[in-house]
Chains A and B, each alone.
Chain A
Amino acid sequence: MGQLNRKRFLQIGAGAFVSAAAAIWLWPTKHIPVFLHDSFSAIAHLLRDPKKLSEISEVTKDTQLHEIDVLIIGGGISGLTAARKLHQNNIPFQLLELGNKVGGNAVGGSNDISEYPWGAHYLPIPNLLQPELLKFLEEHKIIVGYDDLGKPIYNDYYLCSDPEERLYIHHYWQEGLIPDLGMKENDHSDIQRFLSLVQHYKMAIGSDRKQAFCIPIAYCSKDEEYRKLEAITFENWLTEQRLESTYLLWYLNYCCKDDYGTSLKNTSAWAGIHYFAARKGVASNAGEDDVLTWPEGNQFLVHALQNRINQNIQTNAFVSKVSQMPDKRFSVYYTQTDNNTSHVVLCKQVLMATPQFVNQKILSTDLYSSKLNLLYSPWLVANISTMPLSESNGVALSWDNVIFNSESLGYVNACHQQLKSSLPKLVLTYYLPFTQNEPKEDRKFLFNKTVEELKEIVLSDLEKAHKDIRLKVIQIDLKIWGHAMVGPRPNTLFNPNKQKLLEAKNGLHFAHSDLSGISIFEEAFYQGNRAADEIIKTWKA
């Protein structure tokens, strides 16, 4: 053996080691399948092309004619809520929805691991100002009774299980989302000061004896003392208050993105404070900040709303034009996208439960001249099917999992409410609102990305907290919401033009949550009921 060429042997050995190392390094780059789910991009395109839009709204000999008393356009929460109420009042109606199922921003999906949300995924414990909402929750056993004090008892299967929230900060998962770890004295004191300021607003009553902040917004005080906060940005308000802690600012920016899809810069101070001061949930068996959630998110509530009115719902119906005829009736043009037939509905009353950026395009100019200047930011949502990810120190996998200093909102564990004691696979729903630039630019940026690039955005973000994510993920399903949420920018919430729009005229009604200016279930529910009440009044007259 002494004669063996040692040098060569060593060379080969070293070579082998290097290649083995390379093989190990390359190992994790297994291909993760990714799918982009349709978000009506073709139709969005149509909306931007007025000529095409009017072309498809032309009556031909093949156009089918229908008549109905009331027509609801849009099957999101607001449209469905209105439909529920009309049904309860025995008013004949039809609902047209663009998607292949109803739900709008509250739709969910499913795969063989779990159901999961695509958009809205929770309902905070409501306050007692919304009896209609409580009644609805009772109808569907979400509220199971009331205690001696009259506080609702919520179905414990639907109350978000513990552990609810955690924040990945300084390589550690801390409990709760308000940063705590690694902060200096002034950070703590700024956070304390902020919380006591908003606590003050929470209790505040305006000169008109209404609560300064509550849900729905329509019930809030008109006292100028509070309304004036609508004219400045949240960022400026914070500067005025000398709240400067970077931890606090990160947290507040996160909150604005989470609820409104806007940054501190683009949120009005009124809306920013509203996030903290308006929630006054009351429950016998939960805290005021607790939430109700389901694996499929608010799709659960969509099912509850649609439950008795399925026969009145028409899906795959794209409304391209709404105009009024000399006899004051409305003609609504729509294309049935699954069989490409065109239709006209003649009706006495129309309810637009569609967002204003759509209304602006499909309502004839005599019906819709309002300039509301609403802006909607785009969101990327990813449903990540995965084996359980490796966890660093700290709190265990929670319902809401946020990464400090990330652009995203982190992810929600869609399987959190499952009662199984061990899950070999999970679906995590990842939310990324785009707030850096003007929505239009962000939309362009987002729609120009390839699916692989989008996947990379998601993975490289989550990799910060879960090093092994590329090894564990089974599949990623993506959806782009081009116009996810209306932004409560300064001077938009109480815009007088909006009031004008809301005043019902000749059977045309509006109900989308963007009229409240804050995209949440309760506002959509409120708007739907308000509009339905108008319709019922006209109907009875």
Chain B
Amino acid sequence: MAKKVSTPNLLLFSVFVVATCGLIYELIAGTLASYLLGDSVTQFSIIIGVYLFSMGIGSWLSKFFTTNLLSWFVQIEILVGLIGGFSSSLLFVLFEFAASFQLLLYGLVMLTGILVGLEIPLIMRILKDEFDFTDLVSKVFTFDYIGALLASLVFPLVLVPYLGLVKTSFLFGILNVSVAIALCIQLDYLGKWFSVLKKIGIATLIILLAGFVLSENIMRFSESLSYSEPVIFSKSSAYQRIVLTKNKKELRLYLNGNLQFSSADEYRYHEALVHPVMQGLPKQAKILVLGGGDGLAVREILKYPEVSEIQLVDLDEAVTQLFKTNSLLTSLNQKSLFDPKVNVNNVDAFQWLKTNTKKYDVIIIDFPDPSNFSVGKLYTQTFYRLLLHSMHESSKVVVQSTSPLVAPKSFWCVNQTMNSVGLNTLPYHTFVPSFGEWGFIMAALNPIQFPHESISVQTKYLTAGTLRTMDHFPKDMAFVQTDVNKLNNQMLVHYFEKEWAIYQ
């Protein structure tokens, strides 16, 4: 019979597919783990270890399968396809909810490992009558290793850059299941059970295809392609899309696609934001930080021994959590968020100020740029008026206020708005390579002086010489008259949109 001759070849082909798919699932798990948990060396070695060990368990378990080997083979193949296909989207989605993500991750890796581990011994036993033993071993393992080679080449070169993790796992799930279906068609003559299996296989295939097509919608993972550097972490919190990218020289954080900092020069930004306003602190100084959930401003604040208390208010728990757990990030902020002086509250700053009754000596405001109406509210007259309630007579405030070079109207609008509630302002600026020329506004109820002499703590960037240039505004950034930013006009957002439009 013509059919019978080809079955062994089809089976050998499926060894190849299983091997490729198995390794791909393992690579996906490893990559995902290092994306989500950081520290790729540890993650990869644990995953590979767990995977290989599970394959061992699978091989050992295979001895308990004594009859209906072909049907078991097909069933396992479908199961591998289903689990592997959904593995990455499952991990991505569950990362946000799972209490113990590691447990889930290793559980999934083990399960795939065991199932793949079962397949090789099963296939060898199925084929033992078709080939002589030496030939069989050589054939099976050749296909196995070719599959592995192919997987490890294709994965980093083609799949991750072009398809992304989610699509890749669905694609290989589809491949897995298609082979199973092909086998069922081939083995149809062996009885009704195979046509049932075929139907199950087709149903699984449909689910996987749907997953493949919808993956973009569900995960919007394709966005990883829109960043020029490799994305090592991405997550949608309730408030924003958090993306972390890394290349050889720097780590970058993006919130909703806007660059928040680059590890290469963030110290320039944060030193300029924090130190000028921190000079002449009273004893037992209380500091309030609004925004700045990255803990980088806090890192600078902690350099001052006079500081007794730091209250950090950042809307997004996902951000503060990330900066407490990711090892790359905690080494950047020097674990500042764990300092006993620091108290973190994850609430909206506007809301928090409304209920706050404490007065702070220094208030550091590090909100995202006013690129939309909801953030624009945090730069309004109403907001600064509310801020006054958290200040005493000699409190000082500083606000990051976008680029006075690119967006002079926006910058001076913040200045104007702060003036309008009775604050004396002191605008200044500095150069941060990844942002450009950047502006800040220092303010207090009493007239204030810019500290030209020196900064009382260790710095990486600021010197007396730099300080002397910071509050001088050259002609191309000079004061311009603007409207006051109010809730019912949102002038700042309008200025900002216009001024930054050419850069979008």
Contacts and interface: CB of A to CB of B under 8 A. Distances in A.
Interface of A: 1-5, 8-9, 12-13, 15-17, 19-20, 23-24, 27, 156-157, 159-164, 285-286, 290, 396, 419-424
27 contacts: A3-B2, A3-B3, A9-B182, A16-B202, A17-B209, A20-B206, A20-B213, A24-B210, A156-B381, A156-B488, A161-B373, A161-B377, A162-B487, A163-B373, A285-B486, A286-B488, A396-B372, A396-B373, A419-B351, A419-B377, A421-B348, A421-B374, A421-B377, A421-B378, A422-B238, A422-B374, A423-B374
A12 B489 contact: no
Contacts of A396: 372-373
B6 interface: yes
A372 B9 CA distance: 92
B373 A23 contact: no
Interface residues of B, number: 42
Interface string B189-214: 00000000000001001100110011
B315 A157 contact: no
Given A9-B182, A161-B490, A162-B487, 18 more contacts: A1-B9, A3-B3, A9-B181, A12-B181, A12-B202, A16-B209, A156-B381, A156-B487, A157-B382, A161-B373, A162-B488, A164-B488, A290-B488, A419-B350, A420-B350, A421-B349, A422-B315, A424-B238
Contacts of B239: 421-422, 424
B185 interface: yes
- Among A16, A17, A157, A424, which residue has the most Cβ atoms of chain B within 10 A? A16
Given A16-B202, A23-B206, A24-B210, A4 B487 contact: no
Contact of A1 (B10, B209, B381): B10
Nearest to B205: A16
Contacts of A421: 239, 315, 348-350, 374-375, 377-378
Nearest to A424: B238
B35 interface: no
A15 B202 CA distance: 9
A235 B349 CA distance: 51
Contacts of B372: 396
A19 B206 contact: yes
Contact of B488 (A2, A4, A160): A160
Closest A-B pairs by Cβ, 5 of them: A162-B490, A419-B350, A20-B209, A3-B6, A422-B239
B314 to A, nearest CB: 11
B463 interface: no
B216 to A, nearest CB: 12
Nearest to A425: B238
A9 B201 CA distance: 13
A320 to B, nearest CB: 46
Given A24-B213, A396-B373, A1 B13 contact: yes
B327 interface: no
A422 B13 CA distance: 52
A5 B349 CA distance: 66
A165 to B, nearest CB: 12
- Among A20, A24, A27, which residue has the most Cβ atoms of chain B within 10 A? A20
Contacts of A5: 185
A358 B457 CA distance: 78
Interface string B346-360: 001111000000000
B210 A163 contact: no
Contacts of B378: 421
Nearest to B354: A419
A157 B353 CA distance: 14
A161 B185 contact: no
A144 B188 CA distance: 83
Contacts of B240: 422
Nearest to B491: A162
Contacts of A163: 373, 490
Contacts of A3: 2-3, 5-6
Contact of A4 (B182, B373, B374, B493): B182
B123 to A, nearest CB: 15
A160 B490 CA distance: 11
Interface in B1-27: 2-3, 5-6, 9-10, 13
B186 interface: yes
A396 B376 CA distance: 13
B487 to A, nearest CB: 5
Interface string B139-178: 0000000000000000000000000000000000000001
B186 A4 contact: yes
Nearest to B291: A421
B59 to A, nearest CB: 26
Contact of A419 (B181, B186, B209, B348): B348
B185 A159 contact: no
Interface in B466-504: 486-490, 493
Interface in B205-241: 205-206, 209-210, 213-214, 238-240
A20 B211 CA distance: 9
B439 to A, nearest CB: 21
Contacts of B3: 3
A16 B490 contact: no
A162 B6 contact: no
A29 to B, nearest CB: 15
Contacts of B185: 4-5, 8-9, 12
Nearest to A290: B488
B483 to A, nearest CB: 12
Contacts of B381: 156
Nearest to B484: A285
B13 A420 contact: no
B374 A24 contact: no
Nearest to B204: A16
B205 to A, nearest CB: 5
A162 B374 CA distance: 10
B400 to A, nearest CB: 15
Interface in B394-445: none
Contacts of B209: 16-17, 20
B6 A420 contact: no
A90 B152 CA distance: 88
Nearest to B212: A20
Nearest to A21: B213
A422 B493 CA distance: 16
A374 B76 CA distance: 76
Contact of A420 (B2, B5, B348, B487): B348
B6 A4 contact: yes
Nearest to A22: B206
A65 to B, nearest CB: 50
A24 B10 CA distance: 32
Contact of B210 (A20, A422, A423): A20
A4 B178 CA distance: 13
Nearest to A159: B488
Contact of A23 (B210, B238, B315): B210
A13 B3 CA distance: 21
B202 A161 contact: no
Contacts of A12: 181, 185, 202
Contacts of B349: 421
Given A1-B10, A4-B185, A17-B209, A161 B487 contact: yes
A424 to B, nearest CB: 5
B276 to A, nearest CB: 26
A1 B6 CA distance: 6
A420 B374 contact: yes
A328 to B, nearest CB: 52
A156 B382 CA distance: 7
A100 B351 CA distance: 32
Contacts of A19: 206
Contacts of A156: 380-382, 486-488
Contact of A2 (B6, B315, B490): B6
B182 to A, nearest CB: 6
A396 B373 CA distance: 8
A503 B382 CA distance: 47
A262 to B, nearest CB: 30
A8 B186 CA distance: 11
A69 B349 CA distance: 52
